[in-house]
Amino acid sequence: MSFAELNLNPAVLRAVADLGFERPTAVQADAIPAVLAGRDVLGCARTGSGKTGAFLLPIINAIADRPRGVTRALVLVPTRELAAQVLQDFRDFARHTAVRAAAIYGGVAPGPQADALRRGTDVVVATPGRLLDHLRNGVGRFDALETLVLDEADRMLDMGFLPDIRRVLQHLPARRQTLFFSATMPPAIRALTRELLTSPVTIEREPPSTTPSAIEQAIYPVAENLKADLLVELLRRGDIRQALVFTRTKHRANRLADRLAAEGIRAARIHGNRSQGQRTQALDDFKAGRLPVLVATDIVARGIDVEALEHVVNFDVPVAAEDYVHRVGRTGRAGATGEAFTLASPGERQLVHAIERALGRKLPRRTLADFDYNAAGRALEVPLAQRIAEIRRRKAEDRARAEARRQRRPAFAGSAAASPAQRTFDGGRPAGRRRRGGRPRVGAAAGHGRS
């Protein structure tokens, strides 16, 4: 099937041609006629299937020749990254039309977003929480809304957005078209679709727990302490040129990025503790090819669109098989090929087996030739129990030293300079490091100082 057969208007077709899209993806071929016909759609589609075009192209098409000034479509998404991505795709698809969109998400100033809502921007792409903030302030009118899209609905539920979604729904007309996209269809999602959709056209191109066949997947069994060395080696040898690397925690993401930097490998990090500006910059640098490595936590596993991304590396084995499918979905998008490597320590063997059960097949094991698998290596982080034991030991030593000092002190300290009052006055610092003027740092001296 060609795009021309889809009854899209010439301005939309021109945009698609500009992007070099030759034919609709399977999801687009199924969804676009249904959306144009005004039907509700239930799409079981992962990122990379072309689902964004599947809902944006017919929405833009429907609005293109209509009067401006009222919001006609609302797209709810789980993360700000996905909101920014959908907005970017919108701009590409709508470039030859007068249709406009705005993205509404947290972490940035609300003022310009409120202006866009007040103007009645044609298409609003929003995360539920921030949109609700605006609605609570009386900003945003959706009485003329025609189409609601829930994108990555499973993710929104995972992130606990269901109550917010329900509150947003109260501000929307009951009579509307609803398009529901989800990579997986667990029972909670099925229940929500029954509630929100009327006689939907169901598009289920791929079984939910499979990864696209264009992606080569491999497990690299390796000791926990050698994971960073193995990754460095894969990058140095050119087995991996550019990769999105996932870690289990923000802390590990930070430590790994530092470790790569120490090895002379440029890496940015992107996780929940990074500001929006930092995240956007890291993504831009990565997409532009200026950075070989982007280290990320699962929060960004969906919603990042990195075209022609060659490698995804699971530095830690994902705890949920479903997360594995989503992470691996970053690569090999829309027909491109990619490789997904998972570094698995002996302690993660069970998790690997669970993923293989979900995929219904065993993943190949690979070893890197001439890599010293017996080296001692260096742990990325000191295990929590060990860190706690170390803190306890230091505290016990401090207490013992303080006690020893107390016992050595004569019964009458003699001079006022040695008195606790004087120590407080000095802020507890050695004489040579006293602050100028000898003024007390009250908080620190009183033991309230924050480290």
Binder among 25, 182, 314, 342 for ligand AMP (CB under 6 A)? 25
Contact segment (CB under 6 A) with ligand AMP among 19-27, 231-239, 255-263, 284-292 equals 19-27
Q: How far apart are CA 140 and CA 122, in angstroms?
A: 12
Number of residues that bind ligand AMP (CB under 6 A): 15
Shortest Cβ distance from residue 25 to ligand AMP (Å)?
Answer: 5
The 291-330 contact track toward ligand AMP, x by CB under 6 A, reads --------------x-x-----------------------
Contact flag: residue 50 with ligand AMP (CB under 6 A): yes
Shortest Cβ distance from residue 126 to ligand AMP (Å)?
Answer: 17
Q: How far apart are CA 316 and CA 313, in angstroms?
A: 9
Shortest Cβ distance from residue 151 to ligand AMP (Å)?
Answer: 9
Burial annotation 187-210 (CB, 10 A radius, 16+ → b, else e): eebeebbeebbeebbbbeebebbe
Footprint (CB under 6 A) of ligand AMP, residues 123-162: none
The DSSP string of 37-76 is TT--EEEE--TTSSHHHHHHHHHHHHHTTS-SSS--EEEE
**Short-list 181, 292, 166, 290, CA closest to 237:** 292
Binder among 26, 108, 159, 334 for ligand AMP (CB under 6 A)? 334
Contact flag: residue 58 with ligand AMP (CB under 6 A): no
Tokens 């040898």 found at? 237
Q: How far apart are CA 88 and CA 103, in angstroms?
A: 10
Contact segment (CB under 6 A) with ligand AMP among 44-52, 166-174, 234-242, 258-266 equals 44-52
- Phi, psi of 200, rounded to the nearest 5 degrees: -70, 155
Contact flag: residue 52 with ligand AMP (CB under 6 A): yes
List Cα–Cα distances, 111 to 118, 135, 141, 197, 371, in angstroms: 11, 13, 16, 33, 54
Binder among 21, 90, 105, 324 for ligand AMP (CB under 6 A)? 21
Contact flag: residue 47 with ligand AMP (CB under 6 A): yes
CB 278 within 8 A of CB 295: no
Contact segment (CB under 6 A) with ligand AMP among 48-56, 152-160, 248-256, 384-392 equals 48-56
The DSSP string of 287-312 is HTTS-SEEEE-GGGTTT---TT--EE
Binder among 53, 58, 78, 200 for ligand AMP (CB under 6 A)? 53
Site for ligand AMP, rule CB under 6 A: 21, 24-25, 28, 47-53, 305, 307, 333-334
